[in-house]
Structure 1
């Protein structure tokens, strides 16, 4: 009696069921067809250059864990984010505090230096974004850049450039939105911490998915959360907002069904962006 397992059949041997797919074209491949690659296995057609039939356009592009294109430079977006942070850091130390007063995250306050009422509630929504890349203190800047470099180097190759950029920016925006929602309206906030904590959350989800040793992630995350809630003058709202967004977005990316992967991933990004919008609108209504 022939019992069907429900597994797909090899694209070259239709009578053979397999649970392995080519990492480039995602076609099912059986043990006699699979060819070891740097990441997973590839089918003979992709190894020969993708000249076989049944491949979608661009299917010969190597793919990351979540469907992004695999690149040789696994830190390209990380470097761009760090360059923006560095440029603003140098600009602050050239232009002075007046630039900080224009770009930091403030809900609603009167600034004597500027001589006007400023803040997100006044329509300056750009502060939610610019504050993500803004630093005044050298130690604060170096600490965040170290986290961005180390954790970005782990997460970006797994997600690919586009998804990593979306994760980083949405994590930072989520942190900013939670600060705006919960912190005193006249309390300024700045720094890339929300973004870095988003990458921390992504690292935890990826390690769990890969069934890697979770102890380094747990220890590193635990120490950072301990610092967050025990040291003064730290915006815990930015850290928590970024962490939650990073966990949710990465979970949606890695656990999305293959058949609807992009729909789930884009939908998760849209939902996080809508939650940011909702927090901003609610807080603005309260302040005004």
Structure 2
């Protein structure tokens, strides 16, 4: 027998209780992490390393941009930079590399870690630093990362669907808007003050549509997919939590399908 607070308990009962009591489980099924800031710091470090690599190789003229930026409709810039040509065969005959998501599908992810302007990366990383650890504390590391990457893919999906020829997209804004949406939805569910967050989201979206240098597609896609991913986590009843990951995976697949549709249109 094992001594208890009142009397004794059988060893089998203690073992069963230990199995059934998940002291490190968070409210929505995630596992509590010792340092919820670590994941955010790793994401920030990746973004900063890519930014430094671009600065070291020419900044906005870096050849790395052709490989990292999201280019929905591929093109190459002919010698002298006087004309952008969309035909891979013509570009090859001219000895100029052709770049686009159809031949470089990783652009859907790498574009979300690519920045050129200091203000761009600083503003995105500041929001990531503020929101990332909070979301991980509530949902756990795996679910936080799932929202981040689903939102990133969602931003890329709308960018591919609604871009014009010659457009290219960079920045973590799609993922960041996904985190903004996640924070607002969590606050709404717990009857917190979500209106201030929604105000910031609304202002940001308006600026996205007004300023042609900002990818409204990435912002809106990241927000919508981030909201959907968060809803799949926090609104499923406890008995249905085994559906969280299939739903998150389905959102990722949907983003990929939308990108394929955008390429074919």
TM range (shorter): 0.7 to 0.9
Alignment of 1:1-288 (within 5 A): 52-55=14-17, 57=19, 59-96=21-58, 97-107=62-72, 108-112=74-78, 115-121=96-102, 123-261=103-241, 263-286=242-265
Q: Aligned pair in 2 of structure 1 residues 231, 260: CA closer, same or farther (>3 Å)?
A: same
Contact map agreement 1:61 1:69 (CA 8 A) in 2: no
TM-score (norm 2): 0.83
Partners of 1:158 and 1:60 in 2: CA distance: 15
**Higher percent of residues as helix:** 2
Unaligned stretches of 5+ residues in structure 2? 1-5, 7-12, 80-94
Cα deviation 1:207-257 (Å, max 9, x = unaligned):
011111223212222222222222231000000110001111111101112
Greater relative CO, 1 or 2 (CA 8 Å, sep 6+): 2
Partners of 1:148 and 1:246 in 2: CA distance: 14
Partners of 1:226 and 1:178 in 2: CA distance: 17
TM-score (norm 1): 0.77
Contact map agreement 1:111 1:118 (CA 8 A) in 2: no
- Which secondary structure does the structure 2 equivalent of 1:118 belong to? coil
Shift of 1:281: 1.6
Partners of 1:141 and 1:281 in 2: CA distance: 28
Give the aligned CA root-mean-square deviation in angstroms. 1.9
Q: Aligned pair in 2 of structure 1 residues 161, 142: CA closer, same or farther (>3 Å)?
A: same
Pairs aligned (count): 235
Cα deviation 1:21-51 (Å, max 9, x = unaligned):
xxxxxxxxxxxxxxxxxxxxxxx9xxxxxx8
Shift of 1:111: 3.1
Partners of 1:56 and 1:278 in 2: CA distance: 44
Shift of 1:197: 0.3
- Which secondary structure does the structure 2 equivalent of 1:98 belong to? coil
Q: Aligned pair in 2 of structure 1 residues 173, 144: CA closer, same or farther (>3 Å)?
A: same
Q: Aligned pair in 2 of structure 1 residues 133, 54: CA closer, same or farther (>3 Å)?
A: same
